[in-house]
Amino acid sequence: MSKTGGGAKPRIGELLVSRGLISEEQLERVLAQQKREGGPIGHIILANRLVSTIAFYDALTDHFRRGRIGDLLVSKGVLSNEQMEEAVQIQSEWGTRLGDIILAKGWVSPYVMGQVLAEHFDKPHVDLMDRRPDISLLDRSKLSVYSENLFMPWQREDGLLKVAVVDVTPELLKIVNETVDEPFDFIVTSKFDIIWLLQEIGGTYYSGKAVHELANTLPQYSASEVFTVKQLTFLFVWMTLSIIILAIWPIQSLVVLNLSISAFLMLNFGLRMLLGWVGGEKHFDQYVTDEEVLALDDRDLPVYTILLPMFHEAATLPNIAQALRTLDYPLSKLDIKLILEQEDDETIDAAKELGLEGIFEIIRVPESLPQTKPKACNYALHFSRGEMATIYDGEDAPEPDQLKKAVIAFRKSPENTAVIQGRLNYFNVAENWLTRMFTMEYSLWFDFYLPALDYLRIPIPLGGTSNHFKMSVLREMGGWDPYNVTEDCDFGVRLTQAGYRVGVMNSTTFEEANNSIPNWIRQRSRWLKGYMQSYLVHMRSPFKLYGELGHVGFWGFQFFIGGTIVSAMLTPVLFLMYIIWLLTSTFAFDPYFPSFVLYITLFNLLIANGMLIYLFMLSGFKRRYFGLIPWALTVPFYWLLQSWAGYKGFWQLIHNPFYWEKTHHGLTSFEVTHSATQPEKPKA
């Protein structure tokens, strides 16, 4: 804290009087108190609430500052002159503070930076692990504010609250002032100290919020209740009536059922054709151009939070860390959260061993159920400081300019755009049959369907990663549903219901395609279970949903989300009937296929299935993965796998609805790359 005497500097009291912040009489009283009780005059002025902390430091910033951060670092020998020059050069391009750049570059550790910062502001530097805070000073309802802004009440000294901060800016002081609501002064500490301590102290609080917030505030959107009473009642009545009708009019009712299924599948096919055509529009691939990216001024870019939830993925950590380092985005504006489960020592140790730069922060999620990715992300949101946020998986390789493209896409989109979904694709395209199928499916989904859904204003089921959010909306919506195992799909629908727009953009993240069928089944069964959860959640009040989504949105939701589930469930049944008929030439099915039903069924079998196969071909063609095109002819076998996963997901929905079927990554023998031109390159 400041001293009353000394040096060439004017005295604090005199400075405050000259600024008109205190009167001569007040100064006299303060000096008298200092004479009686001792202590720094600044403390006494703040403790007596003569001046607010903000006004105090606004007036006296220059008084306290000692030298420039960069010079201090150079003089201490922790930063070379060349690094200093480079940092200054970068500063002119990025428009961020020198300290942030030096930290982002990893030239100085956060701890040393804290020390220098403390010296710069003439404040003590405190190691919170040694000198722990007084927990009674913490307001538990404000833990999120502490963690989002990286400060915490530390101790009370001479009646004045000391707040530990990692940085000193007028904005932060304002937030601290509003939060603690009493006179305070600050001390400087390392950001990791604050993050770790807050997790230690508030782990239960953050965890509770991550799990229960949505269920408490918006229970109608929470999948914590799989079937509502109304839904069960409806199901019971419907099934009872169906059985009665079936008993009375067996043939007619089966014909109606057959007709309904056939018509549904035909309309589902029609929707997919429409999406294929609309999504094939050229302009979707040019939504954000390279020229626009080049024209972007780095100084205008917002701070970007990258959420990186990982679980037992130590092997993929170096790849994703490198991919994030090479993003074409000012590193000092990146706020990267490695979200690791507390018991996952393997990955935590790997992260520590990597010696990651200061922009990477490890967030340890305490053990609690459900152990899902959305819960982990919700937990990490409390520590996120970006204006925008995105999620990547451990095996991801986003195109380097993706974040910039997302910023531009937001600027070009309507104000109510809440999230922009990037495209997903795979780098191990040609590893085996399964990866080929998966790649074509993803290409179709992200390159055709999602842009079309966006255009047609049909709710977009977000992909698991590379969705770029406005942080304010993310928080307003209560984050993801931790009980939903496809929280991304659910969130896209929820945003549309809330009147937000979900957009798409032309930037791709390359992932590792599942190359093992059991692993794929696990993953896909989770996805389909999640789709079922999402469908059940949003269909709790169908009329309300209709009102919120409109005609196109509602029916698009029925066919795109519902259709995916129904198709998966029906495919094996229909295939089986067909094979039985082929092998036995039985007439047993004839009564259930009157001519009009037969024609629709034939159309579905021949034209619809044929054109759906063709869509798979087109997906490979558009991505210029020409080698995949002939493989599209085998896609009916892939549909059967999907059905298998669908039934597994359905079984789990009833028996273990919140279980997160973990997909194992790092199984590929291919090199992780974000190159779309040479995707078929095996590891050397």
Partner 1 sequence: MNISPVRQRNYGGKAVLALIALAMCGVTIWLLSNDFQLAAATQRWAMVTGALGASDVLLENLSFLQPHFPLYVLVPFYFIPGLDTGAAPYLVALLAATFLLFMWDRHLKEVEISGFRHALLAILIVSHPAFLWAATSGGHLMLSMIAFYMLYRSAQHVITEHDIHSYISLAVVFLIFFFVDSSAIFIFVALLPLLVVIAPIRTVMVSPVGLYLIVGTPFAFAVGTWAYMNWIFEGDPLFFITNADSAFMGGMLHIQDFPWLQQYGGQFFMPLIAATGYMLVAYPVSVYLLLDTMDNSYRFRASFVLLLHPLIAIAIATSQYYLMHPFEILGLLSAGVMAELTFIKMQSRREFVLLVIFMFISSVGGWWLFSQAGNPEMKHWMQALQGDTHQDSSNDADLALGLWLKHNRQQTMLYDRDAYEVIAARGDAKGLVLSFSNEYKSNIRERIPNVAQIAVPDPTTVRGRRDKLNIRYPNLYDFGMKGFSIVYDHLGWRVYRKKHV
Site residues (vs partner 1, CB under 8 A):
276-277, 280-282, 595, 599, 602, 606-607, 610-611, 613-614, 617-618, 620-622, 624, 626-627, 629-630
Compute the least distance from the CB of residue 236 to partner 1, in Å. Answer: 40
Cα separation, 543 vs 540, in Å, equals: 9
Helix axes 110-120, 98-105, angle to 10 degrees: 160
Compute the least distance from the CB of residue 257 to partner 1, in Å. Answer: 22
Cα separation, 94 vs 105, in Å, equals: 13
Compute the least distance from the CB of residue 281 to partner 1, in Å. Answer: 7
Compute the least distance from the CB of residue 429 to partner 1, in Å. Answer: 14
Compute the least distance from the CB of residue 580 to partner 1, in Å. Answer: 16
Secondary structure (H, E, C), 104-161: HHCCCCHHHHHHHHHHHCCCCECCCCCCCCCHHHCCHHHHHHHHHHCEEEEEEECCEE
Bridge-partner residues for 164, per DSSP? 152, 187
Nearer to partner 1, 97 or 622 (CB): 622
Compute the least distance from the CB of residue 617 to partner 1, in Å. Answer: 6
Compute the least distance from the CB of residue 677 to partner 1, in Å. Answer: 11
Q: Are 545 and 325 in contact (CB under 8 A)?
A: no
Compute the least distance from the CB of residue 568 to partner 1, in Å. Answer: 23
Write out the two tokens for 284: 């979707």
Nearer to partner 1, 192 or 448 (CB): 448
Phi and psi at residue 656, in whole multiples of 5°? Answer: -150, 65
Nearer to partner 1, 391 or 452 (CB): 452
Give whole-number Cα distances, 385 to 146, 227, 410, 539, in Å: 11, 36, 19, 34
Q: Are 515 and 556 in contact (CB under 8 A)?
A: no
Nearer to partner 1, 219 or 594 (CB): 594
Nearer to partner 1, 146 or 625 (CB): 625
Secondary structure (H, E, C), 111-123: HHHHHHHHHHCCC
Give whole-number Cα distances, 625 to 427, 432, 507, 679, in Å: 11, 14, 17, 8
Compute the least distance from the CB of residue 125 to partner 1, in Å. Answer: 60
Compute the least distance from the CB of residue 605 to partner 1, in Å. Answer: 8
Q: What distance lies between CA 116 and its chain's CA centroid?
A: 33
Write out the two tokens for 245: 């009708």
Compute the least distance from the CB of residue 377 to partner 1, in Å. Answer: 35
Nearer to partner 1, 310 or 615 (CB): 615
Nearer to partner 1, 537 or 628 (CB): 628
Compute the least distance from the CB of residue 586 to partner 1, in Å. Answer: 14
Nearer to partner 1, 587 or 626 (CB): 626
Nearer to partner 1, 17 or 266 (CB): 266
Nearer to partner 1, 273 or 434 (CB): 273
Dihedral over alpha carbons 187, 190, 192, 193 (to 10 degrees): -50
Write out the two tokens for 434: 């399964």
Q: Are 48 and 96 in contact (CB under 8 A)?
A: no
Cα separation, 171 vs 188, in Å, equals: 16
Nearer to partner 1, 244 or 606 (CB): 606
Nearer to partner 1, 110 or 620 (CB): 620
Write out the two tokens for 120: 């710069």
Nearer to partner 1, 189 or 619 (CB): 619
Residues 6+ apart with CB under 8 A from 406: 388, 390, 420, 422, 468, 505, 507
Cα separation, 162 vs 185, in Å, equals: 5
Cα separation, 587 vs 593, in Å, equals: 10
Compute the least distance from the CB of residue 606 to partner 1, in Å. Answer: 4
Which residue, chain included where needed, has tokens 């020059």?
85
Closest CA to 193 of 221, 151, 222, 155: 151
Q: Are 187 and 118 in contact (CB under 8 A)?
A: yes
Compute the least distance from the CB of residue 502 to partner 1, in Å. Answer: 23
Longest Cα–Cα distance in the chain: 108
Nearer to partner 1, 547 or 591 (CB): 591
3-state secondary structure (DSSP) of residue 458: coil
